A and B are shown apart, each in its own frame.
Chain A
Amino acid sequence: MKDFGFTLSPSSAVSLDKVDSRLWHKLLETSPDAAVCISCGSCSASCPAARWSGMSIRKVLLALQRGQSVAPMLSCCMLCGKCTMVCPRGINTRKLILALCRICEKP
């Protein structure tokens, strides 16, 4: 194929009618504060595991709501608690991660 200097990425559209959000709702039962996330990205900026895994709580929460897999990201978490410290919404992210690690299906 001719190289035009750019590529087309596959569509990332999410059909909200079809997503499997059971895990998200299960999480909300134990950690309702997940719902107050404003996706500001403070956690993404501070996460030390983000360098090699792309991990961030914001991403995990968005992926959960879109029914995407989160286990690979979670397995990189070192539980250092920086995201808890920076969260402007005061979400207890460590509790949330531990709860997710418990209820997640095995990757």
Chain B
Amino acid sequence: MKERFATGFDPFVIPFLIGMGFVLAYCAYGILRILFQLSREDRRRFLLSLVTPATALKNIWDIFCNCLLHVKLWKRNRLLGFMHSSIAFGWFMLILLGHVETVLFVPHRINLFYYPIFFNYFVAETDATLRGAALFFLMDFFLLLILVGIALAIIKRVRSRWFGMRRTTRPSFLDTIGLYSLWAIFPLRLLAESFTAHISGGSFLTIPMNWIFRQFFGNNLYMLPCWWAYSIALCVFMCVLPFTRYMHIPAEMMLIPLRNAGLRIRHPRKGFARVEVLSCPGCGVCIDACPMSADKANLKDCTVYLNRQIRRGNERRIREISDKCLLCGKCEELCQVGVEGPALRIAQREMRQYAVEPDYAAVDMAALREAASGSKVLYFAGCMTQLTPAVGKAFESLMHKAGVAYTWMDREGGLCCGRPMLVAGRRDAAQKLIDRNTELILSSGADTLVLSCPICYRIFTEAYHLPGVRVVHYSRYLQGLVLLGRLKLEKSDICYVYHDPCELGRGCGIYAEPRKLLGQAAMIAEAPQTKGESICCGGSLGSISLDFAAREAITRHALENLYASHADAIATACPLCLATFSRYANRPVRDLAEIIDRSSV
């Protein structure tokens, strides 16, 4: 290979240099800004994690798997995964191989920023280039891979269902410009390299195209305009990148190390949250995932639009979206990047100032303390179970059958667990409740705390510190009693479909235990969307602004999913789901404890 130009420069590289310079400057500024927004402790933790070999290796591996290969997308839908990884990985390989070529053939030019990108324009093939043939082949191969990816992306715009998506995001104006310039980059590169292939050499794609072009045009006049167009397309893409969803490309590379360092959202707009918002690729997986999408009026209230509004700074909409969400966590479960939609919203709710601060000084702690004392096993039913007395009754009957001495600490009413307060964004108030409950439980002298409400269970496992007390969900506790032989179950022939409550499943990762227990008492059918993808019942306390009427569509949508299993009845392990489903269901809805109680002998 020899150089065609002694200067190693042509004016067409200027647009590319402008775009690249801009995007690099923007990202450098962004990284510094985010580092300054982090708290001192977080920043230290992050910087330390970068030099810790184990975390650093994990960072590289995660970036490779998620940003380039899009492993999670492959698992979701192969076509979608192929489309994204072909573009991302292909582009990465083109840049990498461009550098390899430059180092191999014109090593003195490696300091020129643009050289690897426009390599084919600046070099001419010689007889001694045979060892480059493999590289030329790879270049053409990856270019073809990207072009296939782009073709799929265009098809996805019209036929998103082929890619496993019912709805996709409506791109904003700048997103559209970014999208079209991205689509234009690679066909233009193909044209430019094809017009140059008789000089610079090429492979299976560029050489035949060059031959065809030469039959038509027979001169080199079209060469330079194509390189100009390629450079301009790159420039446009990179200039709009910071203001479009394509910002996720650099942002995700920042998000992964931050997450691996163990950072959490502390402010809804700054630091870690900012990186999460910028990392949202706007793919729209969360639109289909969101249970509120059952009603078209709520289509623009899912996480992808929250991220967009946060980027735009539209305070009214940010508040609206944050207050509406049910916090079921399905968007987070399905998000390919790992944007924590619920946490972002709770952080947003925490920004709100209240004139009236909660004060639980009037609570009669002595009476509650007395109600909680007496035995080694405590049962905390929670507020919602008061509205579904069947759950508590069934649990009581089971404990009686198993002969377990226990104390139902809130039989006559007690304190709330604090989770509803926490999700409403009033962390201090929730902490007051947590402190009081902790005091009650620790002073009772019990060593086991059984919970039947997943809302309570989640906060008890996440935010309570109860040394010496085993916090256990009743599905696990009852299973233990069955294994010990203290409870004997007879399998009935009623077929139940088990609905995973959001707080229990996605919130605490308990999927198997309730099914195992239920399987010993009845037949089980699975709904089409189940476990991590189960649909919120619509009764969630997470939402502040969704009113009664607006929740009906959500509940019916979740019920349709359960009906599809053709089960005789619906089983769940959450008093709130039970109450909500019972309202509209066309078949019996029962709590796990009720079912177990009926089939125990």
Q: For residue B357, which residues in chain A have a CB less than 8 angstroms away from its CB? A: 75
Are A82 and B386 interface neighbours, CB within 8 A? Answer: yes
Please state if A80 and B420 are interface contacts (CB–CB under 8 Å).
yes
Complex CA–CA separation, A75 to B359 (angstroms): 5
Measured between beta carbons, the chain B residues less than 8 angstroms from A91 are 547-548
Task: List chain A residues, Cβ under 8 A from B386.
Answer: 46, 48, 82
A104 CB-CB contact with B under 8 Å:
yes
Quote the shortest CB–CB distance from A14 to chain B (angstroms).
Answer: 23
How many angstroms from the CA of A84 to the CA of B364 in the assembled complex? 25
By a CB distance below 8 angstroms, the chain B residues around A18 are: none
Nearest chain B residue, comparing its CB with the CB of A55: B362
Contact assessment for B363 and A52 in the assembled complex, using a CB-CB cutoff below 8 Å: yes
Q: How far is B230's CA from A96's CA once the two chains are assembled, in angstroms?
A: 57
**Contact status B426-A79, CB under 8 Å:** yes
Least CB distance from A23 to B in Å reads 11
Beyond A78-B415, A98-B424, A103-B355, whether A90 also contacts B383 by CB under 8 A is no
Q: How far is the CB of A12 from chain B (nearest CB, A)?
A: 22
Are B364 and A101 touching (Cβ within 8 A)?
A: no
A18, chain B: closest CB distance, angstroms: 24
Q: Does residue B352 face the partner (Cβ distance < 8 Å to A)?
A: yes
Q: Are A101 and B360 in contact (CB under 8 A)?
A: no
Cβ–Cβ contact A85 & B539, under 8 A: yes
The answer to whether A52 touches B364, judged by C-beta atoms less than 8 angstroms apart, is yes
Does B356 lie within 8 Å of A101, measured CB to CB? yes
Q: How far is the CA of A77 from the CA of B413 in the complex (A)?
A: 14
* Cross-chain contact of B356 among A46, A48, A81, A104 (Cβ < 8 A): A104
Task: Please indicate the chain B residues that have their CB under 8 angstroms from the CB of A85 in the complex.
Answer: 384, 387, 539, 576, 579
Expressed in whole angstroms, the Cα–Cα distance for A56 and B26 within the complex equals 54
A100–B28 alpha-carbon span in the complex (Å): 45
Q: Within residues 341 to 380 of chain B, which ones have a CB less than 8 A from any CB in chain A? A: 352-360, 362-364
Q: Which residues of B contact A28 (CB under 8 A)?
A: none
Q: How far apart sit A39 and B484, CA to CA, in the bound complex (Å)?
A: 51
Contact check, B354 vs A102: say whether CB atoms are below 8 A apart: yes
**Chain B CB within 8 A of A37 CB:** no
Residues on B with C-beta less than 8 A from A25 are none
Partner of B548, one of A78, A80, A90: A90
Number of A-B contacts (CB under 8 A): 100
B433 contacts partner chain A, Cβ-Cβ < 8 Å: yes
Q: How many residues of A contact B (CB 8 A)?
A: 34
Chain A: minimal CB distance from B434 (Å): 11
Are A90 and B547 neighbours in the complex by a CB distance under 8 Å?
yes
Question: How far, in whole Å, are A106 and B356 apart by their CA atoms in the complex?
Answer: 6
- B interface residue count range (under 10 / 10 to 19 / 20 to 34 / 35 or more): 35 or more
If A75-B359, A77-B358, A106-B355 touch, whether A48 touches B413 (CB-CB below 8 Å) is yes
- Of chain A, the residue at the smallest CB distance from B352 is A102
- B415 cross-chain contacts in A, Cβ below 8 A: 48, 78
**A4-51: which residues lie under 8 A (CB-CB) from chain B?**
33, 46, 48, 51
Asked whether A71 lies within 8 Å of B416 as measured between CB atoms, the reply is no
When the two chains form the complex, which single residue of B355, B359, B544 contacts A94, counting CB atoms closer than 8 Å?
B544
A57 sits at the interface (CB 8 A): no
- Whose C-beta in chain B lies nearest to the C-beta of A81? B541
- B416 and A79 within 8 A (CB): yes
CA gap between A106 and B357 in the complex, in Å: 9
Query: Contact string, B389-426, partner A, CB cutoff 8 A, digits 1/0?
Result: 00000000000000000000000011110101100101
A53 closest partner in B (C-beta): B362
Q: With A53-B362, A81-B541 in contact, do A100 and B356 touch (Cβ < 8 Å)?
A: yes
Pairwise interchain contact B358-A104, C-beta atoms closer than 8 A = no
**CB pair B354 A101 closer than 8 Å:** yes
B549 is an interface residue with CB less than 8 A from chain A: yes
CB nearest neighbor in B for A105: B355
CB distance from A22 to the nearest CB of B (A): 14
A64 to B462 alpha-carbon distance, docked (Å): 38
A46 touching B387, Cβ below 8 Å: yes
Interface residues of B in 486-545 (CB under 8 A from A): 539, 541, 544-545
Choose among A74, A78, A86, A106 the residue that contacts B416 (Cβ–Cβ < 8 A): A78
Inter-chain contact B545/A92, CB cutoff 8 Å? yes
Most buried by B among A52, A71, A103: A52
Q: Which 7 A-B pairs have the closest CB atoms?
A: A90-B548, A78-B416, A80-B383, A101-B356, A80-B416, A75-B359, A92-B547
Q: List 18 A-B contacts (CB under 8 A).
A: A52-B364, A75-B359, A78-B418, A78-B420, A78-B421, A79-B420, A79-B421, A79-B429, A80-B384, A81-B420, A82-B384, A82-B387, A85-B384, A85-B576, A86-B387, A91-B547, A92-B547, A101-B356
Chain B residues in contact with chain A, CB under 8 A? 323, 352-360, 362-364, 383-384, 386-387, 413-416, 418, 420-421, 424, 426, 429, 433, 539, 541, 544-549, 576, 579
Query: Given contacts A75-B357, A94-B544, could you give 12 more A-B pairs where the C-beta distance is less than 8 Å?
Result: A71-B356, A76-B360, A78-B420, A78-B421, A79-B424, A79-B541, A80-B416, A81-B420, A82-B383, A86-B387, A90-B548, A102-B354
